[in-house]
Amino acid sequence: MIKKLKNRNLYKLIAVIGLFVISSISHADDMDDVKALLDAYIETESDLSAQAQLMSADRIFIVGSPAMRMTDNATNMMGQSHVDKRNQQLDSKGIYYATREDQIVRVYGDAAVASFRRNLNWRPSAQGVRNGQSDSTNRQLVTVVMAKVDGDWKIVHTHISPA
């Protein structure tokens, strides 16, 4: 009888340890997936149609200066694309890229939150400089909320403030 109790307890202990191992592996995979999503978000800053694929259709977008809140991601991305196309018309050979610093990421089950500083950098072409353009960097503080949507991580909320 005592031997059976010890064996049952041993099986329970093994099962609990197994659950912890599986849980920590799953959490590590989610953290990797969330960080990959954030990398893609920064890398697609100059390709807004690709960036839109990283977001849920109902993503909320809040940006300051001037203050704006958008709840329809398709309309929001269309507006941003118009600005991007206009900039391309002004200097198609200029370079636009983003960098990210001091990223903090937290995963809470099927939700995750990231906070970081982002720099949006513009480097005009030689022709752009001759036309009066100059280098610029727009420094921002960004919070991104992500959620697992149908098994894939998507950006569901973005809040951007000037730094």
Question: For the segment 94-127, what is each residue's pLDDT rounded down to a tens digit?
Answer: 888 899 999 999 999 999 999 999 999 989 999 8
Q: Is the pLDDT of residue 65 over 80?
A: no
CB 99 within 8 A of CB 121: yes
Mean pLDDT of the chain: 84
| Rg, Å, the chain Cα set | 22
Distance of CA 14 to the CA centre of its chain: 37
Domains parsed from the chain with CATH numbers: 2-162 (3.10.450.50)
Q: What pTM did the predictor assign?
A: 0.75
* Of 112 and 10, more confident: 112
Distance of CA 144 to the CA centre of its chain: 6
CA distances from 62 to 65, 67, 70, 95, 143 (A): 10, 7, 6, 25, 10
pLDDT at 7: 64
pLDDT at 19: 46
Measured CA to CA, the distance from residue 94 to residue 135 in angstroms comes to 10
18-64, pLDDT tens digit by residue? Answer: 544 444 444 569 999 999 999 999 999 888 889 999 999 999 999 98
pLDDT at 128: 86
